[in-house]
Amino acid sequence: MLRHLFGAYEPLDEALSVLRTPGLVVRRKRGNPGHTTQHDYYLTTSGRDTTQKIVETVPELIYYVERSKLVADLAAGRRGSALRDIQYLHPEYSDAEIGTVIAGITDRARERLRDALQTTEERNKQ
């Protein structure tokens, strides 16, 4: 992602257009005219039905449903600004110059997730 004025930035409109056009997702803006403070995206009834059909047709795609739930759990209800503050604890984010690509932290994040899952499994065994 690009380092933007207020954090990592990637426009969602283009990526989500394939879901918005057929009415699978809707976007709601919060704020005042000319000053949007938040974008919320919701899966429509048609989107839920389509998702269910896709997973029933190709069960391997449940992986993405599970990953989405994991991301939501990790976010723990935090808004974008709180998540951004956590991102900026990483030097890859805080040290990136505006307009440059932020270096990835995938390997470190996977290691932390692996450690957290292992700790959870150990607690569940006790």
Tell me the pLDDT of the chain averaged across its residues: 85
Look at residue 90 and tell me whether its pLDDT is greater than 80: yes
Look at residue 19 and tell me whether its pLDDT is greater than 70: yes
Say which amino acid occupies 4: H
> CA 11 to CA 82: how far, in whole Å?
19
Compute how many other C-beta atoms are within 10 angstroms of the C-beta atom of residue 5: 7
Tokens read off for 36: 């949007």
Instruction: Determine the straight-line distance between the first and last CA of the chain, rounded to whole angstroms.
Output: 41
| Cα separation values, 12 from 4, 38, 58, 94, 124, Å | 14, 12, 26, 22, 38
**Residue 49: pLDDT band with limits 50, 70, 90:** very high
> CA 24 to CA 90: how far, in whole Å?
35
Tokens read off for 15: 């990526």
The residue ranges of every structural domain in the chain are 2-125
**Residue 61: pLDDT band with limits 50, 70, 90:** very high
Assessment of whether the complete model's pTM goes beyond 0.85: no
